[in-house]
Structure 1
Amino acid sequence: MKKLLSILFSTTLILTLGSPAFADEDKNVAKALDLIEKTNRDIDQKIEKAVEKADSLQTDYIADIRKIEEGDKLIKLKNEREKALSDLEAVKNDRSKEEKLQEKVFMLNAKINEEQLRVDSKLYEIHQDIDEATAQLVPANDKDAIKLEEKISKLTNKLDERSEKYQEKTERFTSDLQKVIKDVYNETLQLSANTIKKAAENGVIAECSWKLVRFADKWVYIDPIRIVKF
């Protein structure tokens, strides 16, 4: 009986002495998990803001290019149509003039549509250039530096074939978009690295999970944190 009581006492003592250590470990794990969750929220917010900025840059760029492409011809046609429509409204009771103006509006619409198709076709071509330009924006390591330089050289040659206005707008867009992507890439990578290190110190093993994120029309890998084990 005494032996049984001794065993029970020893077991209780061991468990009692061990509890604070387990409690501290649980607190550290909980702290690490909370930190990972907070970091991932911060990363998501940074990504969201960067995506919005990238989309805004592209919208502005396309609008600038459209202005260049439309030029005087399309603007003149649209102005003529507005005047013809205004005149048409003023001669509602004159059948002869009304028919002539309706015919003029019809012809102007046809010309505008034709010119607009040309503009849209040109914009599609430029859109392809955007893809090629922004393909260079994914952060490259030293191993890829030579290949990246070759691509940039090829891109520069293509840009030189366009007018100075196109080149200026495109270079500004690619430069601004590059900054948005590199900034969010570096910021989120640093956040992940710091949190992974702190989590490891508290007994939680984590790693970058890498997910594809769209910036304008480009997809780039960004690095939220994934828990491996704890």
Structure 2
Amino acid sequence: MPLMLVAFAVMGGMVTLLRQDVLAAVVTYQGTTAKFSSGRVSGQDIGFGMAQVDVAGVGTRNVLAAGFATGTLDGLCVSQVQTLPVIGDVVIKLTAGDGNSTTREISATNVQLDITQLRGSGTGINLDGRVQIGMASQDVTTLAGVDNPLGAPTGTGWWGIDATAGDIFSAKGYLYDAEIGGPISLPGLRISVTPKAAGGTECWSTPGDATPVPH
């Protein structure tokens, strides 16, 4: 239990629980990136746009802000390595899902991910419906009636993509933070803290699995 408490304090995550496996809001913010992966991410009213985030202890960093009004996922994994006094490196990992690759059992609304690297393998990234490429990030729409939902800078040089729907297959990458404004269902939610020396593993580890997004 002391290991868990210290690790979560270092990670700096905030989770508000409404009932078992259901979260009203999740805000994860770290001074460094975390790895994430999902078998498939499907969204409605989605947008991607270049933006900036202020990272504690680091400064301003360019990111790809990805947002969607509603979405579903086939499994989810988020992991980060932290170095703790005496203990050394530990892997803090959140996983959720039913283990069935044919279902998208995780659902969420009003989601934004600030990503530094992203890769979709196999079928890759598919956009559908009305797709606009090259628009200003500030003009991307995800939530009805909300201006600049990605919080992108104004002016030239910040491009974005807006689409009615989209899928990312075998998604892997790095993110600085994730915000879920509406409810998210996380069946099979598990949180673990495992020393690397004792076999702690991250969500993915193969070199080259995550390709940098353009800055």
Q: Confirm or deny a common fold (TM above 0.5).
A: no
Q: TM-score, normalised by structure 1?
A: 0.21
Is the helix fraction higher in 1 or 2? 1
Is the strand fraction higher in 1 or 2? 2
